């Protein structure tokens, strides 16, 4: 099974550290229908830092989910996002697809730190340019996933009774779901708007830079949305579940007022101070990543940050990051791509979890003909 960069299935599984989000989409772009959505919680420790840590237990949990929702035999699209997936943008001379595949296989070791015989490789041409001397260069997205990690994931999925259509990288799914493509009337050579994405999941954080619909940079950070609640639980010596509620009801200091009906002012202040230290860690990771990208030749400055994943539900995190990074920050809403909700969940319920659906919606979207 190659690491797929092209969408093939309309059911998608986004596997996080604490749950699996399942989305099903039908129809064509411009008239998409959400026909399936649910979230299946999984025990802690089955997925760690974006990898399946307990394959047999994970497969058993997934099989229970498949049976509960009658998904056996369904074809699904998967995403991977961990430190064993490498994504690079490289330049190659203009050549045919067959020639490019051979050249990539031959030169890949120059760009990835894992031995080539231990990875699954894939590539996609994302653009071309003509140099002043008239020679044509093409920009190529190179993806390498550690073979053992991919095999473990595939085996667990197949043991559950599902079929795998393809495996994508989360960063590409995020770009499809959250970043508008270049406008129809864009001027030739116009660079377009440079946007960043920070998807803070319950497993890892995926940082992306994209110009219009083209990804230019991505990095995986071992920072999960659960870190906010875990640090707060340790600081206040309270159960994780209680801390998780406080993260949502109190959150960080910002424009959305905290829920003072349940918490006294002193508790609110202490909670916000603790969560600010965690938000500062995240902010520094984002800043370093964007600084690295902007230091590359011909790179544009990131003009806006899109916040998605479970971390986007931390109260006032968007405003806090905006102030810290000096950037406009918006909450990602992949449901803007959906024309009709037939999932059985209310529009209000879907709206409340919309940022958490970004990877799954990006995976489930059908190809444009």
DSSP designation for 299: P
Q: What pLDDT, on the 0 to 100 scale, is given for residue 135?
A: 82
Residue 314 Cα to chain centre, angstroms: 17
Compute the average pLDDT of residues 23-38: 92
pLDDT confidence of 125, banded at 50, 70, 90?
Answer: confident
Q: What is the pLDDT of residue 182?
A: 53
Q: What's the pLDDT band for 65 if we cut at 50, 70, 90? A: very high
Mean pLDDT of 21-42: 93
Gap between the Cα atoms of 135 and 257, Å rounded: 58
Measured at the CA of 154, the angle between CA 122 and CA 97, to 5 degrees, comes to: 15
Q: Which residues pair with 155 in a beta bridge?
A: none
The answer to whether the CB of 231 falls within 8 A of the CB of 342 is: no
- Please give the angle made by the CA atoms of 167, 63 and 12, to the nearest 5 degrees: 30
Distant-in-sequence, close-in-space partners of 252: CB < 8 Å, separation ≥ 6: 272, 275, 276, 279, 314, 315, 316, 317, 319, 320
Report d(CA 218, CA 80) in Å as an integer.
13
Average pLDDT on 284-302 reads: 94
Q: Is 55 helix (H, G, I), strand (E, B) or coil?
A: helix
- CA-based torsion, 346, 351, 357, 360: positive or negative: positive
* pLDDT beyond 90 at 209: yes
**CATH architecture group of domain 11-227+279-364:** 2-Layer Sandwich (3.30)
- To 10 degrees, what angle do helices 240-249 and 226-236 make? 110
In this predicted structure, which of 97-101, 225-229, 351-355 has the lowest mean pLDDT? 97-101
> Given pLDDT bands bounded at 50, 70 and 90, which one contains residue 170?
very high
**pLDDT value of residue 368:** 61
What number is the average pLDDT over the span 229-243?
Answer: 96
| Percent of the chain whose pLDDT exceeds 90 | 73
The domain spans of the chain are 11-227+279-364
Q: At what angle do helices 226-236 and 265-294 cross, to 10 degrees?
A: 140
pLDDT top residue among 303 and 1: 303
pLDDT at 43 over 80: yes
Q: For a pLDDT cut of 70, what percent of the chain falls above it?
A: 94
pLDDT, tens digit, 9 for 90 and up, residues 306-342: 999 999 999 999 999 999 999 999 999 999 999 999 9
Collapsing DSSP states into helix, strand and coil, what is residue 281? Answer: helix
Q: Which residue has the higher pLDDT, 306 or 133?
A: 306
pLDDT attached to residue 267: 94
**pLDDT exceeds 50 at position 8:** no
pTM of the model: 0.91
């Amino acid at each position: 099974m190659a690491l797929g960069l092209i969408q093939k299935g309309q059911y998608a599984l986004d596997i996080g550290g604490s749950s699996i989000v399942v989305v099903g989409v039908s129809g064509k772009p411009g008239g998409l229908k959400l026909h399936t959505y649910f979230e299946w919680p999984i025990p802690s420790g089955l997925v760690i830092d974006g990898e399946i840590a307990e394959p047999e237990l994970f497969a058993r949990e997934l099989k229970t989910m498949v049976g509960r929702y009658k998904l056996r035999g369904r074809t699904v699209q998967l995403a991977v996002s961990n430190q064993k997936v490498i994504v690079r943008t490289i330049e190659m001379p203009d050549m045919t697809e067959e020639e490019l595949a051979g050249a990539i296989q031959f030169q890949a070791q120059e760009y990835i730190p894992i031995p080539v015989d231990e990875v699954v490789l894939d590539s996609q041409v994302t653009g071309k340019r003509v140099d002043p001397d008239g020679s044509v260069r093409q920009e190529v997205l190179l993806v390498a996933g550690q073979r053992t990690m991919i095999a473990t994931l595939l085996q667990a999925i197949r043991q559950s009774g599902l079929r795998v259509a393809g495996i994508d990288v989360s960063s590409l799914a995020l770009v499809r779901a959250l970043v508008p493509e270049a406008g129809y009337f864009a001027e030739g050579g116009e660079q377009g708007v440079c946007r960043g994405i920070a998807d803070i999941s319950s497993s890892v954080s995926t940082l992306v830079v994209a110009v219009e619909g083209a990804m230019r940079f991505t990095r995986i950070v071992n920072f999960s949305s659960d870190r906010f609640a875990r640090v707060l639980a340790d600081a206040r010596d309270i159960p994780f579940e209680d801390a998780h509620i406080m993260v949502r009801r109190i959150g960080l200091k910002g424009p959305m007022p905290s829920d003072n009906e349940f918490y006294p002012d002193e508790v609110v202040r202490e909670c916000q101070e603790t969560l600010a230290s965690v938000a500062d860690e995240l902010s520094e990771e984002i800043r370093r990543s964007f600084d690295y990208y902007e230091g590359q030749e011909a790179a544009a400055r990131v003009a806006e940050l899109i916040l998605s994943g479970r971390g986007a539900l931390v109260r006032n995190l968007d405003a806090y990051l905006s102030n810290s990074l000096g950037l406009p920050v918006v909450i990602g809403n992949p449901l803007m791509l959906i024309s009709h909700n037939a999932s059985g969940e209310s529009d209000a319920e879907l709206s409340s979890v919309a940022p958490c659906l970004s990877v799954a919606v990006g995976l489930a979207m059908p190809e444009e003909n």
